Each structure stands twice: as C-alpha cells, then as structure tokens.
Amino acid sequence: MPFSKQYNDISLMNAHSAKGPVIRKVDAWPVDIGLTDDFVISQGAISVAENVFIRITLDDGTEGYGEMAPFEELTGETRDDGLRQVRKLAEGITGRPVHEYERISAEMKEKEPGQPAPRCGLETAMLDAFCRFRKIPLWSLWCREPRTVLTTDVTIPLLSYDKSMELAGAWYASGFRTLKIKVGIDSDSESRLITDISRRYPDVSFIIDANMAFQPGEAIIFINDLARKGIPVLLFEQPNDRFDLEGMKEIKDSITVPLAADEAVFTREDAERVAAMGAADVINLKIMKSGVLETLEIIRVAVAAGLGLMIGGMVETRLAMGCSLALAQSFPAIRYLDLDTPLLMIEDPVVGGYRYDGSRIIGTNDPGLGMKVRDGMT
C-alpha cells in the first residue's frame, strides 16, 4: 500500500455545528506583498502578490479573516474580478448564522461555480470567525489529534542557473531537504540544474513541477532521464495539459516517479475523473482552486480511491496557508506539503498563528487561525 489509507472522519465537522452568532459585516480590501524573487513558472510570472484580505465580523464582535490569492494564468481570475465577486457573494452572507457555513458555501458555489478563490477567502473567514467564537483551533473541525509539526518543501521558480543554484544553497543551509523545481521552458538547462543541485546536495529530494508545459512524450523523456541518473524525485507534478487525462495516464504508465495532478483537479468531479482513469498517483490540493469545503470532498474522493495527497497554494500569505496547514494537520493522507509561499515574501502581513522554523511548520492551538492582520495592512 504505497499511500496511507488513514484519514479522519470528516463528519466530525458537524459535531461542532452548535448555534452561533450571525455575520454582521464582510470587509474586503486589496493587499500588495512584494516577493523576494520573481515567481516564474511555465505559465507566467509575478513579482508582487496582489491578493485580497477579507474580514468577517459577527454580531457579538468576533472577527474572522480570510484571503483570496488569484493566479490569473492558472485560474483566469484577476484581483479586480475577485474583489467584485467577494463583494457580490458577501451580500448573500450578511445576516446569516455563521454556523451555517456549509450551507452558505454550497450556495456560493451554486451562484459562482467558476470563482473558487473568492469563495475560498469567504469560507476561510467564516471558519475562522466560527472557531474564534467557539474558542477552538481550526484543525479541531476536522480531527481530534492533529499533527503538530510538519515539514514543507520550498519552491525554486524558473530563474537563471546561477540564481537558482544560489537559492538552492541558501534553502539547504536553512534546513530544507525537499526542493520543488519549476520546469517547462528549457528542458536541457532545467535538467542540468537539477542534476547539479543533486550532485552538490546529495541528501536533497525533488518535486518537479511543469505546470502543464510538456507534451506527454517530452515529459516521459525528461523525467526518465533524471531517474536514470539516480536523482531522487518524489513527485512529477502536472507535466501536461490539464484536460489531457489520456496523456497524463500515458506519462504515469511510462515513468517510475509518482505523478501528481494539480491543474487537472479543481473540483470533486475532476478528482473523480482522475481516479476513475488512473491518470495520477497523487492529487495536489489547493484551497484557492477548489474552495475549502470542496477540498474536503476531494480529500474524501482521493482517500477512497487510494490516491496520495499533496497540499500547496497559489502565492498566498500565512492567512490562506494557515487554513491549508490546518487541513494538513488533520489528514495524515496529505503526505507532501508545499506550503512555502509566505517564505518567498518580503514581509509577513499577519501576526500570530503557525510559524516556520526552517523547513518545519509548527501549528497553533489558538482559536481559529490564531492570526491577526498587522496594523497598516487593514
């Protein structure tokens, strides 16, 4: 059995659905957070995270926070669109009891099925507010005994060879042993980079992410070449087009490295299709592409189908990532963590909550996400 079948009872969530206060108002505002280096992937580049913070205030004064991090190249959502959607969806939320978050989420999805990031931000803020009101940590909605210390990879975007080697060295020195390397622009130089990093740091493992850039044939050659050289690749992420599941299955059947579906799985139906076709070994979860509650459904589908799980994000601050961490703490089936984007930012716009210690992530037992938005960011 290659992947853990163990998972927690999602129905635990309902055990907490005691009556609570109603949502009095929803605030949403843009935040710009600079990145230490451009975040370049095969589909595009960003140098500033142009996100949206969301605050939900309950009628007893309790506040909850959420974040929307659009990545236009991957989801087609811009921040302006997202902000408009958040404000539109907020109209259907105010005046509702916060403990009805599941129903509210289902209504939001019905209203705007193609807008997962705004829904995700509002869901996170509702869950945070609900948990703060109940004085329980977010993970307690999904499990009784969370994993408290987890390890994340760190991403090296598509930068120059020298810059990538420099970043690999710096991350290695701060304790990271899994590097996620973005590929898909120039296979030969990317292959050389990975090989050279591996020679210099033999105890480093790799996750290789092409963000859909390869044709199946190229993908097979690329990854089998690394495998032949004995380079430890943990996962090969989304090598080809998200709609080409046949091609993905062909790749999976032609390589020894486990294949992870990322862009191919936004919804529960996508996960069911991937599972039915046997098109991947692992699904990469992202609350920003699926919403929080639908991510739970994808976890359920994946675990039932014996698929492995990874969790990542768009270019998110610790706010959105704190929600993903709570999921990772709750579901041991989530084996691969890619919760690194706050480390790629110039500043941390929130205080409290989980923290990083090198590659280790230490969860929080404070109510909700345990975070507050820093003064000046509201």
List residues near Mg ion by CB under 5 A.
Answer: 209, 237, 262
- 21 SS3 class: coil
Compute the least distance from the CB of residue 284 to Mg ion, in Å.
Answer: 6
Whether the CB-CB separation of 185 and 16 falls below 8 Å is answered with: no
Q: Name the minimum Å distance from CB 11 to Mg ion.
A: 30
Please, which residue, 99 or 252, has the CB nearer to Mg ion? 252
Nearer to Mg ion, 132 or 182 (CB): 182
Nearer to Mg ion, 125 or 259 (CB): 259
In 3D, which of 47, 49, 40 has the Cα closest to residue 315?
49
Tally the residues of the chain.
378
CB-wise, 262 or 294, nearer to Mg ion? Answer: 262
For the stretch 77-84, contacts whose Cβ atoms lie closer than 8 Å and that sit 24 or more positions apart, written own/partner, are 77/115, 77/116, 77/117, 77/118, 79/30, 79/50, 79/51, 79/52, 81/115, 82/52, 82/115, 82/117, 82/118, 82/121, 83/28, 83/30, 83/52
In the complex, the smallest distance separating the C-beta of residue 75 from Mg ion, rounded to whole angstroms, is 12
Backbone dihedral angles phi then psi of residue 171, each to the nearest 5 degrees: -65, -40
Q: CB nearer to Mg ion: give 247 or 370.
A: 247
Residue 365 token pair: 């037992």
Shortest CB 351 distance to Mg ion, Å: 29
> What would the DSSP string read from start to end of 339-356?
--GGGGBS---EEES-EE
Question: What is the number of the residue whose Cβ is closest to Mg ion?
Answer: 262
Q: With contact defined as beta carbons under 8 Å apart, do 377 and 31 qualify?
A: yes
In 3D, which of 297, 264, 257 has the Cα closest to residue 281? 257
- Helical pair 318-330 and 116-134, crossing angle rounded to 10 deg: 70
CB of 184 to Mg ion, least distance (A): 11
List the beta strands (DSSP E) in 42-145: 44-58, 63-68
- Cβ at position 208, least distance to Mg ion in Å: 10
Closer CB to Mg ion, residue 210 or residue 319? 210
Nearer to Mg ion, 143 or 274 (CB): 274
CA atoms of 107 and 100, how far apart (whole Å): 11
Inter-helix orientation angle 116-134/79-91, to 10°: 50
What's the CA gap between 71 and 61, in Å, rounded? 32
- Residue 231 Cβ, how far from Mg ion at the closest point, in Å? 19
Q: How far is the CB of 117 from Mg ion (least distance, A)?
A: 16
Q: In angstroms, give the least distance from the CB of 310 to Mg ion.
A: 9
Residue among 129 and 260 whose Cβ is closer to Mg ion: 260
Residue whose CB is less far from Mg ion, 190 or 209:
209
